Structure 1
């Protein structure tokens, strides 16, 4: 038997929910999940059932026959007007006959002949589909003196009696999909997240708000809203590094060598055109001279734009599986958690996920049994004249995460296992908080993540003790920093970039 998910719309009357459940039961469907909360939306019920294919089709047909099964997302327009009706018997009734005939649902009405406007009725309505709403408005104008207070065809002003419809219409713009069937399935997934987090004590409306705000932030920081903070670090005689903090998600580290460019992590795909414009502003011909991508791990903000480049992409075998399965918790003890899988899907949609093509993936295979601290040294690689050990983390943030360490220079690229949180702007902190909230932790194993962080700090301390020089930490987020006296301090200058303003003068940090 197979598991199926679907959405139903039920009327507000006694026994309505039981009627739908009875149909599922009659055709031997086993209900695995049901979620209905009248305080969110008084009509919408989400189901997941296990059934044989032929029985599921019978369930769908009967639910369709009684008008329960939701197969599309209707477009609503909301209309609010002042209307002057004749002060005579039947005037309001005639008006309501017109609105009812147009399929309008009255959401509020106020009239008082002893008030300050004794001949004016204020009425708000929602009308299915935009065309009929405009036709109704024209018909009313031809018959009554009216003042239009509000006409909205975006769904923004609809009330919570159609909460999920409003939510889905907002999601439609964020993921740019006109496929109602896909949107309904995705809406079911987001509802599942809300159900799970509500069981953990969270407010469901807060869950939905976080889901939308995460997508809205990404959308508003593309194009004209794009910005980045850039540090230029001369790593050696042959290698110059451009450390680029994007508006949301992980950093891009671009190495300029005598032979071209190498890139550690690519950022979100949705920022790709903006990043290429930034490269042009810095006179970096990356499209023509990029030779290799190194992928630290499989989150969309680190590998999500790899598919735009037809070059080898080095990664751990687990990272390839995370890309293939679309589950950031693959291989961890949290692999089966609903929150992880749905969050991965959500961010992939928001960020237009485009990971490296399979043909370009080059897997790192362990070459020795050597370890540095708790980290296996899975291989070594050279960037320009710098030699790096590639270390595999225990899988606290994500299984297969890679750290690059240059023991000669004390350069430590720590991915998401260690970063200078204090260097994050308020906007970036707020964006990062959405992931923490929606999956309860960005780490798939918090105990291992703490061990990773301690071990990486230990490597930095060890380098300083042995050489008398600070270790430079290049985190997956935040500014490039030096580890000094138990703290991370921003190193060098940070330039702020926007498309409109270009490269702004850097501010020195000490």
Structure 2
């Protein structure tokens, strides 16, 4: 009978009764506690210690019981063994999402008569209301008549019915909390990491859309599992809690910078004949660039969708009418570059242009789609999260760049071009090192070259901006689907822009690198400085 899950010993003092320390199996469902406690009641065995924390192990209960003889304990052992109610020592799934409404949470301190069967009777009452215990502590040495119990019901309205029934059965109790709020939820013992994540997301996103939240949680869990596997193989150690914390932080840094908290930095205006170039740095996400003519405007890259209302106000503050944005050219489909394009298309009829390879990325919610990257799964999980967190909107009727595939001196293919106020903007197709469907846009007339996430001027980024840009890298292990190819493209771009700058210099102009993050810059001024 003695093993590590059921150990019997004799009391050293008093009436020399028998004690047993038990590690029992508890199904994570309403009624399981009543079933377990009922077994001890059946054999008149008194429970003197009971500890259960669903968040640590949803199927493990630690008990200490007292019996006048060891015969009853032997009988209980046989029943527990027969019904597989002894702890097997197996690792449990602590990621189940069982609590979906804080109003269904109740924590009470209840007075229980100190005799065999009392806990079983009370547990049976809980079961009648489909209440699932998620944390319970009872210790005879601390208080032999008091137990603290945290539980949740399947229906929030059932909480009041349960309390009324507890009263009707003559139990004395005090409510520690009922229907935990956002602050109290931190103090609820028994909620697992997934449920805490669920409630934080729910509060952060201000949504009651359970299916949307479950989708985000599923993607986060898959990302977590994959990251932990990758880290173990690399000899590192990622903690599940740290990964979830980073996901929440990544979500909050953008969500907390909208409305009255929205801020932006306007970079100096540049004028190229009859075109005025506007550059705006968002609080997070990619930059927004505007080419302003006499009658309309072109936008190049559009930052996160959640900034849409703020961006319209920003443009108006700077004398720009958002309804005049007739065309939006996107360097790639990442949410921080394309996110609010669909809102402009919906409200103002703006035409949105993207590379054809973006279609697979959008349809499959995977920024590595079609690349064959070994981190494609991580890219998928990240894409799902960032698209939801930042309210991505790309119109369904976006227009594909042509793919003429004309060899260009840069080593990239020249696939398309557009004109604006007499200036021609050429579109080069990347090799796909950062993400499939990335393009570079440049003009000989203005000297502007839009590089997306290539050739950032790192020195122009503040510590907080660099930190924010590191979150995607943490969650995907790399923001590039092919890092070797990305570095090759960087060198190709540098060489091409160097030649372009020398050519423009003959007519008194500069090649101006316009990256997706940080400040634009004259290529000449940073040629010998590290760029990324």
Q: TM-score by structure 1 length? A: 0.71
- Kindly tell me the number of residue pairs found equivalent between the two proteins: 427
Confirm whether residue 349 of structure 1 aligns to residue 382 of structure 2.
Answer: no
- Residue 387 (structure 1) aligned with residue 424 (structure 2): yes
Task: Quote the residue 2:518 is aligned against.
Answer: 478
Q: Do the aligned partners of residues 444 and 409 (structure 1) sit closer, same or farther apart at CA in structure 2, a change above 3 Å counting?
A: same
Deviation, 1:223, is 1.9
Higher relative contact order (CA 8 A, sep 6+): 1
Deviation of 1:172 (Å): 3.5
SS of aligned partner of 2:357: helix
Residues 421 and 111 (structure 1), Cα distance of their counterparts in 2 relative to 1, 3 Å cut: same
In 2 relative to 1, CA 231–124 (structure 1 residues): closer, same or farther, beyond 3 Å? farther
- CA pair 168-12 structure 1, distance change in 2 beyond 3 A: farther
Is residue 2:179 matched to residue 1:158?
no
2: CA distance between counterparts of 1:226 and 1:390? 32
- Which residue number in structure 2 is paired with residue 13 of structure 1? 25
Q: Which residue, 302, 323, 344 being the options, matches 2:362?
A: 323
**Are the structure 2 counterparts of residues 230 and 488 from structure 1 closer, same or farther at C-alpha, using a change threshold of 3 Å?**
farther
Say if 1:94 and 1:297 are closer, same or farther in 2 by CA, change over 3 A: closer
Larger Rg: 2
Structure 2 unaligned residues grouped into runs of 5+:
1-22, 29-52, 60-94, 232-237
- Distance in 1, matches of 2:459 and 2:328, equals 28
| 156-165 or 213-222: bigger deviation | 156-165
> How many angstroms does 1:457 deviate by?
2.1
> Is residue 107 from structure 1 mapped to residue 135 from structure 2 by the alignment?
yes
Structure 1 position 149, deviation (Å): 7.3
Distance 1:318 1:302 in 2: 15
Between the aligned partners of 1:387 and 1:12, the Cα distance in structure 2 is 75
| Equivalent residues in 2 for 1:194-273, closer than 5 Å | 194-201=224-231, 202-273=238-309
Task: Tell me the residue number matched to 1:305.
Answer: 340
Work out whether 1:74 is the aligned partner of 2:100.
yes
User: Offset at 1:366?
Assistant: 3.6
Contact 1:482 1:488 in 2 (8 A): no
Per-residue CA shift, 1:215-248, capped at 9, x if unaligned?
2222212222222122142231311222122222
SS at match of 2:473: helix
Matches within 5 A, 1:125-144: 125-128=150-153, 130-133=156-159
Task: Give the whole-Å Cα distance in 2 for the aligned partners of 1:314 and 1:229.
Answer: 26
Structure 2 length-normalised TM:
0.69
Match of 1:431? 468
CA contact (8 A) 2:97 2:194 kept: no
Q: Do 1:329 and 1:444's aligned partners in 2 also have CA atoms closer than 8 Å? A: yes
Of 418, 421, 440, the residue aligned with 2:455 is: 418
What CA distance in whole angstroms lies between the structure 2 residues aligned with 1:414 and 1:320? 20
Alpha carbons of 1:141 and 1:462: their partners in 2 closer, same or farther (altered >3 Å)?
A: farther
1:174-185 correspondence runs (5 A): 174-175=204-205, 178-181=208-211, 183-185=213-215
Structure 2 CA distance, aligned partners of 1:15 and 1:111? 22
Secondary structure of the equivalent of 2:388? Answer: helix
Deviation at residue 182 of structure 1 after TM alignment = 5.3
CA-based RMSD: 4.0
